[in-house]
Structure 1
Amino acid sequence: MTILGDILGDVGDKLAQDKIKVGNVYLINLDQRNGITPKNGDLTRDKFFIVLGFDNEGNVIGGLVIN
């Protein structure tokens, strides 16, 4: 599972909690640590992340990665 804080860092995670809304779409760069297998010798892949909701602690849930 990818944690948004892992991608943005602790400061970015706190800032993001105040700005992220359901339905927002983000283009993020992912790699094998995030469960993505890059193709054609690439080390990373750009993917779209769609915010579907939040849990009781404010963590983003239900994100969707699309090619």
Structure 2
Amino acid sequence: MAKKSFLDFEQPIAELESKIEELRYVQSESAVDISQEIEQLAKKSQQLTKDIYSDLSPWQITKIARDL
């Protein structure tokens, strides 16, 4: 999977997504079932993304547009 690039204000999302990927790897390599924890973190990531994107400054919106 290709790494997604994150803008500076998206760092909390990046850190959470990294943790989710790490847990998915751990789960795939062991018999431990941590799917509920992964699901909770995924929901937290979705909410964090909504929160961050709902309060962007005009400059942050411009940075997103330029990053596409």
Relative contact order (alpha carbons < 8 A, sep ≥ 6): 1 or 2 greater? 2
* Structure (1 or 2) with the greater strand fraction: 1
* Structure (1 or 2) with the greater helix fraction: 2
Bigger radius of gyration: 2
TM-score range, shorter chain: under 0.3
The normalised TM-score by structure 1 is 0.22
The normalised TM-score by structure 2 is 0.22
